Structure 1
Amino acid sequence: MRKNSVKNTRINSEVLKELSRIISREIKDPRIAPMTSVVSVEVAPDLKTCKAYISVLGDKEAQESTLEGLRSAHGYIRRELARSINLRNTPDVRFILDQSIEYGVNMSKKIDEINAAMHAKEKEASEE
């Protein structure tokens, strides 16, 4: 099976949907931040491993504690994934922190600051 085959794409989307449901509704670990979302999932073509990219809204400490909580709930997550998705092999999920949303928010703030500064300079120049 090729990495970007239709079957693999369908499996990725199904695993993403189920992981999101399991993390948001079924895990009761207080270390896991309430604003944790699964951004993307990459299941290996042999269905043995899976990389789950997660995004956590919060500071660095919240992100680290969420990763720690998810790693400790690894067995439960895999068991629930096996119950909800009928696959030959249940993938071994590895959680990876995705910083792309945070990076985008920071870049947007910087662009807004630059635009505000440029607007203020234009206003000063027009008043003179």
Structure 2
Amino acid sequence: MSNVRANRVGEQIKKELSDIIQRELKDPRIGFITITAVEVTGDLQQATAFITVYGDDEQRSKTLQGLDKAKGFIRSEIGKRVQLRKTPELSFKFDESIERGNRIEELLRNLNKEDK
């Protein structure tokens, strides 16, 4: 499989995953969540969804527990919506890039204050 197809499938899964989490899941552990990216392997067997969660570390862990519990349901819904021979296995990871970016921005602001 080409990377172009894997990227297109990843974008489609991202769109459907956002819709499923927003409209279909009723788990109270799952808070305000954003799907930032979905990476799919070249053979379309594995998909990793990168998420950000609004809240503290406890809220993040509860959200991840809720998503892991609903993984089977989410995968079956994606299978219905995305036309593939086999629906990829899903895994969820926290996207640390936004927090890293905010930290770098804060450090740069502090440097600018010190210079003035």
Tell me the TM-score normalised to structure 2 length: 0.91
What amino acid sits opposite 2:82 in the alignment? I
- Aligned mate of 2:79, from 71, 79, 82: 82
Q: CA deviation at 1:110?
A: 2.0
What amino acid sits opposite 1:108 in the alignment? E
Deviation by residue 1:22-57 (Cα, 9 ceiling, x = unmatched): 1222211111121x1111111122222111111112
| TM alignment of 1:1-128, pairs within 5 A | 1-2=1-2, 4=3, 6-34=4-32, 36-119=33-116
What amino acid sits opposite 2:78 in the alignment? L
SS in 2 for 1:13: helix
Output the CA distance in 2 between the equivalents of 1:102 and 1:58.
12
Structure 1 gaps, min length 5: 120-128
Q: CA deviation at 1:21?
A: 1.2
SS in 1 for 2:103: helix
Could you tell me the percent identity over the aligned residues? 41
Deviation by residue 1:105-125 (Cα, 9 ceiling, x = unmatched): 122122212212322xxxxxx
Figure out how many residues of one structure are paired with residues of the other and give that number: 116
Output the CA distance in 2 between the equivalents of 1:93 and 1:61.
22
CA RMSD of aligned residues (A): 1.3
Larger Rg: 1
Q: CA deviation at 1:18?
A: 0.8
Output the CA distance in 2 between the equivalents of 1:89 and 1:118.
57
Structure 2 gaps, min length 5: none
Output the CA distance in 2 between the equivalents of 1:24 and 1:116.
41
Output the CA distance in 2 between the equivalents of 1:58 and 1:104.
17
